[in-house]
Structure 1
Amino acid sequence: MALSEDMQPRSCEAAFATVAAEQQNRFWNYHDHLFETSLEQNDKTLTSIAKNIGLDIDKWNRDRNSEEVKKIIADDLAIAYKLGINATPTVFINGRRVNSFQESVLTFIIKNELKK
């Protein structure tokens, strides 16, 4: 399974880099730093984040270019496609897709679900 297009600039490279960070138990740390950068990050930025959070850079580089990491992303994409997810964020509440991200709509749906 592969993306037919890279909808967000360099999103695939960012995904590989983040999953590689998870191989060193630093997913959320990498994730948080990544989202503090430009959405058009380059390889230098991805590597800088890895260095700043203390990753083993050689291992991280091997992992992000590995078939194992690419398969993890491909498997996640396959699940997303089966669920009809084609963008992030996508929100589900109790198995129901929510198409509005307005706080009032989300609050209303959550309160109704909690009443059930």
Structure 2
Amino acid sequence: MSSLRIPVSPHDHTSGPADAEVVLVEYGDYQCPYCGAAYPVVKELLAAYEGQVRFVFRNFPLAEVHAEAVDAAFVAEFAAEHGKFWEAHDLLFEHQQQLGPDLYATICERLDLPLDELRAAVAEERYLARIRADEEGGIRSGVNGTPTFFLNGHRLDSGTEGLAEALAGVIQRSL
């Protein structure tokens, strides 16, 4: 079983209490259909265990097979720079079938983000180092596909199928 090599830090995109005893890390790709299927499952579990789980999302765009994966990650990182990461994250997954420039413009409009600044950030590859750092951390942790989850630092090889059971077990032990 692989373990998380890069510890969760203030650099990460997190939701939930910083001092939670249960930490769920996802390495994901906004265009990956399996990540899209995992998205509502994770949302449901986080709602069920609200206040007990710290959730971390790290970029792992599979650009070789998903042409929009890196651009979608740029949109999320741009939104993060404006304090709206989770809103963009959710919109990207909720509209996964429409990934592309029109959706990115719509997201900027809905979140009141300056589209011209997003275009400039993309042109200058402002977030590429951040995205690559997430990828490198994933590779060091044994990630070779998406989504890959780590629960309290240990890789879950069951994907979303075993996520609910694993999360419930860890929460039960932490009580």
Aligned-pair CA distance for 1:113: 7.4
Aligned-pair CA distance for 1:99: 1.2
Structure 1 runs of 4+ aligned residues shifted over 3 Å read 112-116
Q: Deviations over 1:50-104 (max 9, x none)?
A: 111111222222223333311111111111111111222211123221111224x
Higher-Rg structure is 1
Q: Identify, as 1 or 2, the structure richer in helix.
A: 1
Q: Identify, as 1 or 2, the structure richer in strand.
A: 2
Residues 1:57 and 1:39: Cα distance change in structure 2 (over 3 Å): same
| 1-structure distance, mates of 2:64, 2:70 | 7
Q: Normalization by structure 2: what TM-score?
A: 0.55
| Correspondent of 2:79 among 21, 26, 29 | 21
Q: Does 1:12 align with 2:70?
A: yes
1:9–1:39 Cα contact (<8 Å) kept: no
List gaps (5 residues or longer) in structure 2: 1-60
Residue-pair matches, total = 113
2:63–2:69 Cα contact (<8 Å) kept: no
DSSP 3-state at the match of 2:144: coil
1:63–1:69 Cα contact (<8 Å) kept: yes
% same residue:
24
* Equivalence map 1:76-95=2 (5 Å): 76-95=134-153
Q: Normalization by structure 1: what TM-score?
A: 0.79
* Equivalence map 1:24-63=2 (5 Å): 24-39=82-97, 41-63=99-121
